[in-house]
Structure 1
Amino acid sequence: MAQRVTGWVGWVWFGAFALLTVGLFDLVAGLIAVFNDEKVLAWGGGQGVWVLDISTWGWVHLVLGAILTITGLALFSAAMWARVVAIVVVVVNMVWQFVWLPVTPWWSIASIILGAVVLWALTVHGDEVERAVS
């Protein structure tokens, strides 16, 4: 009996596009920060001030952007390693959004909900992508 492909494959593709888009944005933001490193970012969230070196922030975003972009592209080929990396990235992002919940509540809630849907699609329906591609 052949297993059918459901509409959840679309959510896996959505996750791939999301990773690809965020990865490209991180690459651009990282490049801007690396080449414009004389600025320092300071943010006071009522609990003190965070001071970040823009150059370090830029290199972190460059590396993260490259990982996200490669993972997003690999998800389109239904690579198993890409699903595993994507799941890890989505879980880390969801935890990070919980940390930022007091600062940006609406964005964090939306990101957590969207992450949960993509996580569900990747874990439960990820094997359907292999059938859809082949």
Structure 2
Amino acid sequence: MAHNTRMTGWIGWIWFAGVVMIVDGFFNAISGLYAIFNNDLYVQIRDKLLVLNLTGWGWVHLILGILLVAVGITLLMGQEWARMAAVVLVAVNAITQMAWLAANPWWSIVVIAVDVVILYALIVHGREAAALRD
């Protein structure tokens, strides 16, 4: 199946989404490691956030951060599957940030806002990602 996708000025949105996903992933991984090793520094509400304690959420953020970095890199390489994987991972990241809101409110709000912009870039301008490979 031949792609007849031409590169336009909107391709910058895909680059933006990929780069910000990588940065978002690194921040998630750092936040996760911090929660794993220094969980007494976060505010705790009844020692639980939803179903996990802070160390559990730290592991969630660490793993999600690693996945965000990996998929962000493949998105920049123009892989077709990376766009859908990126949409799913960024949406999951926004949801986990909602759960993390009690422990780190300001940071979670910023990350959710950035995730919304990434989702916009991937959904509205994502078809041009195939032009990155050509």
TM-score interval for Structure 1 and Structure 2 normalised by the shorter chain: 0.5 to 0.7
**Cα distance in structure 1, aligned partners of 2:37 and 2:109:** 29
Give 1:35's aligned amino acid: F
1:130, distance to aligned residue in structure 2 (A): 1.8
**1:46-98 deviations in Å (ceiling 9; x for gaps):** xxx45343321211111111111111111111112210111123334556778
Counterpart residue number, 1:128? 128
1:42, distance to aligned residue in structure 2 (A): 3.3
User: Does residue 91 in structure 1 map to residue 87 in structure 2?
Assistant: no
Normalising to structure 2: TM-score of the pair? 0.68
Counterpart residue number, 1:79? 79
Counterpart residue number, 1:19? 21
Query: Which structure carries more relative contact order (alpha carbon 8 Å, separation 6+)?
Result: 2
Give 2:91's aligned amino acid: V
1:125, distance to aligned residue in structure 2 (A): 3.1
Q: Which runs of 5+ in 1 are unaligned?
A: 44-48
Q: Which runs of 5+ in 2 are unaligned?
A: none
User: Does residue 51 in structure 1 map to residue 53 in structure 2?
Assistant: no
- Confirm or deny: 8 A CA contact 1:13 1:76 kept in the other structure: yes
1:123, distance to aligned residue in structure 2 (A): 3.0
**Cα distance in structure 2, aligned partners of 1:15 and 1:79:** 14
More strand by proportion, 1 or 2?
1
RMSD, aligned α-carbons? 3.2
- Between the two proteins, the alignment pairs up a number of residues equal to 123
Cα separation, partners in 2 of 1:92 and 1:42, compared to 1, 3 Å = same
- Confirm or deny: 8 A CA contact 2:27 2:65 kept in the other structure: yes
**Cα distance in structure 2, aligned partners of 1:109 and 1:33:** 18
- Confirm or deny: 8 A CA contact 1:40 1:51 kept in the other structure: no
**Cα distance in structure 2, aligned partners of 1:111 and 1:94:** 5
Cα separation, partners in 2 of 1:28 and 1:110, compared to 1, 3 Å = closer
- Confirm or deny: 8 A CA contact 2:79 2:133 kept in the other structure: no
Normalising to structure 1: TM-score of the pair? 0.68
Q: Which has the larger radius of gyration?
A: 1
Counterpart residue number, 2:37? 35
User: How many percent identity over aligned positions?
Assistant: 35
